[in-house]
A = this chain, B = another copy of it.
Amino acid sequence: MRGLGICRVLVDLGWEEPRSNGQDTMTQERRSFSARRIMFRRDEIMSQVPVLCEGWAASTVQLTNGRRQILSFLLPGDMITAALLFDQRLHYSIDAITRGCYRVFDRAQFREAMFRSPKIFERILSIYNEEKIRADRLITDLGRRTGAERVACLILDLWDRLRKAGLAENDSIDFPLRQTHIADATGLTPVYVNKVLGEFRRSGLVTITERSLQINDEARLRRMTT
């Protein structure tokens, strides 16, 4: 249970106890969402900043011809985006992947905390920096890597993030993504993703069951991403 149901960001800010023991002043009500629902729409004006407590989501962009790109996956504990602290307009949609719940916090509240404490200021900005670094990495993945490499990068990225958040079992992680999600995140086709994953599985790299992913040969997988 460790790590589930609490929002890492808020713990970092000291707004929530690691072992959440009930009501504290900052606790907002949880809003729940169901799988495959659009949570927020592109260009929506957000007066508050949502933070995921449980479940997975994705920031997505829809092109006119139906093509879809996933910009990033949002894991339990993630703020939708730190950009909302500085810009009210959401520049992409947020789509739920699983069901889950989130809380919302006042931008003003967040910002006040930032100005009050340099440590919180640094923390928030480093969260935003991480978003940017991950975006830059995705750019080079999409621009200069083959399909198989991209899928490997994605798996390892999720692996590392979940691990760091304490959301990984020993050698496997919760993995609710459909192959369509992987396709939209890697700029590939569901059919092709299926072939890549089939290769991975057949060569003993990973084991994917309905809702979990196990990495059998991390070294080899990582070698694909260098």
Question: What is the interface of chain A, defined by CB distance below 8 A to chain B?
Answer: 61, 63-64, 67-69, 71, 83, 86-87, 91-92, 115, 122, 125-126, 128-129, 131-133, 135-136, 138-140, 142-145, 184, 186-187, 226
Residues of chain B with a CB closer than 8 A to A83's CB:
129, 132
Within the complex, the shortest CB–CB distance from A222 to chain B, in Å, comes to 13
**In the complex, what residue of chain B is closest to A60 when comparing beta carbons?**
B140
Please measure, in the bound complex, the distance between the C-alpha atom of A145 and the C-alpha atom of B66, giving whole angstroms: 12
Q: How many copies does the complex hold?
A: 2
**In the complex, what residue of chain B is closest to A129 when comparing beta carbons?**
B87
**In the complex, what residue of chain B is closest to A144 when comparing beta carbons?**
B67
Residues of chain B with a CB closer than 8 A to A143's CB:
69, 142, 184, 186-187
Please measure, in the bound complex, the distance between the C-alpha atom of A115 and the C-alpha atom of B140, giving whole angstroms: 34
Residues of chain B with a CB closer than 8 A to A64's CB:
226
Please measure, in the bound complex, the distance between the C-alpha atom of A87 and the C-alpha atom of B131, giving whole angstroms: 13
Q: Do A144 and B69 touch across chains, with their CB atoms under 8 A apart?
A: yes
Within the complex, the shortest CB–CB distance from A185 to chain B, in Å, comes to 8
